[in-house]
Structure 1
């Protein structure tokens, strides 16, 4: 059985400059094909940062957003990604998970967690 690696990193998106040290996630995950891989993400920015973004970068490709999650709305998936393949949890403002289900070799890549401050303009786009 082929081993898949989900190499993980993190980023922080908000209006203040930061070095990202207040966001942590699972550093590296090794799983077999067919298994599920779950990545944990948490931050210490406080309740003003309830939005959590998940991104993926496959080898030789650019960064793509998978989903935006909050603890108060349904996850907002990008067109190329589904809740069946990439289920998420967001129990509170400071934590969340992304699972990659039924791993295949093509899932190998970098997965990024990012957090954002809530903005009043978010409601204008809905």
Structure 2
């Protein structure tokens, strides 16, 4: 599952993947749902681990298939914390539209987020 989180300026939170698949590419933060977790609990846990941010899980935005993985992405609301890359993330940052367009992204991210109307401003 993945998190779609915008700040008050409309910037989107992205992480630079520190592990495969997609090492060195930018993507939405997220990860695996552990046994006994639902998507909302996994989203809150993964965001804390990868970004240092506390969030509340919001509505499902869409689902993508990436190789053997089915990834459900959810809109999130920031609750607190300090942005810092952790766990599987080599970096984490808020990006505006120009920065987003210039970053090396995981395959299909820009097109998917455009289709869901959740690109950064």
Q: Which TM bucket (shorter chain)?
A: under 0.3
Query: Radius of gyration: which is bigger?
Result: 1
Higher helix share: 2
Task: Give the TM-score, by structure 2 length.
Answer: 0.27
Higher strand share: 1
Task: Give the TM-score, by structure 1 length.
Answer: 0.26
